[in-house]
Amino acid sequence: MFNLILFGPPGSGKGTQSEKLVEKYEFVHLSTGNLLRQEIADKTPLGLEAKSFMDKGQLVPDEVVIGMVDSYFDLHKDARGFLFDGYPRTVAQAEALDKLLKLKKTEINTVLALEVSEEELVSRLLNRGKTSGRSDDTNEEVIRKRFAVYNNETTPVADYYKKINKFESIKGEGSIDSIFSRICDALDKRMKK
Ligand code: B4P
């Protein structure tokens, strides 16, 4: 089993690149953002709770997200590998993921982090907000709040994986295909190890 985390700030292209990676490498795609948006669309109690945080640019509480990830994992017992997109976003989530993978006798093999400047990120998100209907993308104040949350709560996750030598940065600006090819090169090297 080979497990990859695609890491990066909001709008860095995790969702965009994940779709291409899933097609090429046949990972099971676990996007906590997509799972939460589905819960919101289905108007479940979890979705209603999550929406109040997401609309403000805040993270959904760890226990909610961790429980949701555990259930998704159980639904894919035969997976040959997972692509974690937007998860973990806090050190508590990273620790919970380690525990879960250990129970399944597997581990994270690599973390690839998309590096994009903040101005480019704001412009991508406002642009997506024009068509996506995502309330967290239409207001620049909420977008800036998401970056502040990323800097405070999510960047420590990078250090968590740097310490164990599993972290690699990828230039996340340029065409979608050129970024994809950088990710594939890094991934292929790691898979050979
Ligand atoms: P997510 O759904 O994870 O989304 P994201 O961070 O906004 O975006 P992503 O990086 O996937 O960008 P994308 O490819 O779409 O999170 C949303 C919210 O859910 C969070 O703020 C939080 O509240 C909650 N949440 C999710 N996971 C959580 C967790 N684990 N714990 C707690 N809360 C959680 O790209 C963005 C735009 O850029 C698109 O329009 C795309 O077309 C464009 N783009 C992509 N690549 C480009 C390129 N190379 N050039 C130009 N444009 C590009």
Q: Would you say the CB of residue 183 lies under 6 angstroms from ligand 1?
A: no
Q: Which listed residue (20, 104, 134, 166) is catalytic?
A: 134
Which pLDDT score, from 0 to 100, does residue 132 have? 86
Sheet holding 4-7, edge to edge: 28-31, 82-85, 4-7, 110-115, 167-171
For residue 84, name the pLDDT band (cuts at 50, 70, 90).
very high
The region of weakest confidence among 21-25, 89-93, 127-131 is: 127-131
Residue nearest (by alpha carbon) to ligand 1 atom 40: 128
**Beta-carbon count within 10 A of 190 CB:** 16
For residue 193, name the pLDDT band (cuts at 50, 70, 90).
confident
For 100-129, what is each residue's pLDDT tens digit? 999 989 999 999 999 999 999 999 999 999
Number of domains in the chain: 1
Cα separations in angstroms, 157 against 18, 69, 88, 137:
19, 17, 7, 24
105 carries an active-site annotation: no
Q: Residue 124 is part of which domain span?
A: 2-192
CATH of the domain at 160: 3.40.50.300
**Beta-carbon count within 10 A of 142 CB:** 18
- 44 Rama sector, left if φ>0, alpha if ψ -120 to 50, beta otherwise: beta
14 carries an active-site annotation: yes
